Structure 1
Amino acid sequence: MAVSVIAAARAVLVAALPGVNVSYKIPEPLTQRFIRISRAGGPRGRDIDSPRIIVECYASTAAKAADGPRAELDAYAAADALRVAASGGPWAGGWITGWEQNNILDFPDPSQTQHARWQFTGTLYLLT
């Protein structure tokens, strides 16, 4: 049975960040906080899919309660959730076996002037 990497990662992040919109696209209309997940390559073998994923955490800078630090904290929570996901599951019908994270960084999105964006990349290992 094929498992969607985006669906598995989304299931992890929805559980870790209740109330935050998590999707593969930017919501319309924009919400105060949201996370976008994208696949950026990586090999898919017969037994293990090893995609590099991009996780972008947005928080509105128009509201006093949610700003750049909120997006940063959401990025930390999302990265931590992916790190421990192998000890739980299944996630959207799939089993995560590991996570190798790269840097978390402040990466302003020029098209989203009302939202701060923090992002990170990593390799998610998922049984196929």
Structure 2
Amino acid sequence: MGERGQYAAVEAAVVNYLFDRRGGVEVATEVPNPMPERFIKVDRTGGRRTNKVTERVQLTVLVWAPTKTEASDLAQEARGDLDELDSVDGVSVYLLEEVGGPTSDPDPDRSSPRYLFTVALYLRTALTRAP
């Protein structure tokens, strides 16, 4: 029998983490209809397993708010929150790398201010025996 890593449900864990940190702001992996004025969407946009116990997970975080200034501020707050993340779904985050900092990206479908940024989380998991 071999060993395999147990990888985290990263999107869901980061959604819950940001929701707890940004009290009152809805956070999800899908845009709800109707969308609230202030909203954060977390998307897994890539990554790779680097060996049996480590994985690099790339996440893009999209942030909407009523004004460009508010969207920028909320993106900066979420960015700061992720800097303090030490585990997801019980798996250690041993490095957070910023892939792309907060960037204005107005939502053409809603004609509303939106910012986005992208991070890579490096996760270390434990090995378990494969059946």
TM-score of the pair, normalised by structure 1: 0.83
- Runs of 5+ in structure 1 lacking a partner? 61-66
Partner AA of 1:95 in structure 2: S
- Amino-acid identity (%): 29
Contact kept? 1:16, 1:77, Cα under 8 Å: no
Task: Please report how far the alpha carbon of residue 126 of structure 1 lies from its aligned counterpart in structure 2 after TM superposition.
Answer: 2.2
1:122 aligned to 100, 119, 123, which one? Answer: 119
Moved more, 11-20 or 27-36: 11-20
Contact kept? 1:11, 1:91, Cα under 8 Å: no
Structure-2 residue corresponding to 1:73: 73
Corresponding position: 1:12 with 2:12: no
Structure-1 residue corresponding to 2:40: 35
Separation in 1 of the partners of 2:83 and 2:43? 17
Between Structure 1 and Structure 2, how many residues are aligned? 118
Partner SS, residue 49 of structure 2 = coil
Partner SS, residue 85 of structure 1 = coil
Give the superposed CA RMSD: 1.6
Separation in 1 of the partners of 2:20 and 2:94? 17
Contact kept? 1:8, 1:94, Cα under 8 Å: no
Greater gyration radius: 2
Separation in 2 of the partners of 1:12 and 1:126? 16
- Runs of 5+ in structure 2 lacking a partner? 1-5, 126-131
Greater per-residue strand proportion: 2
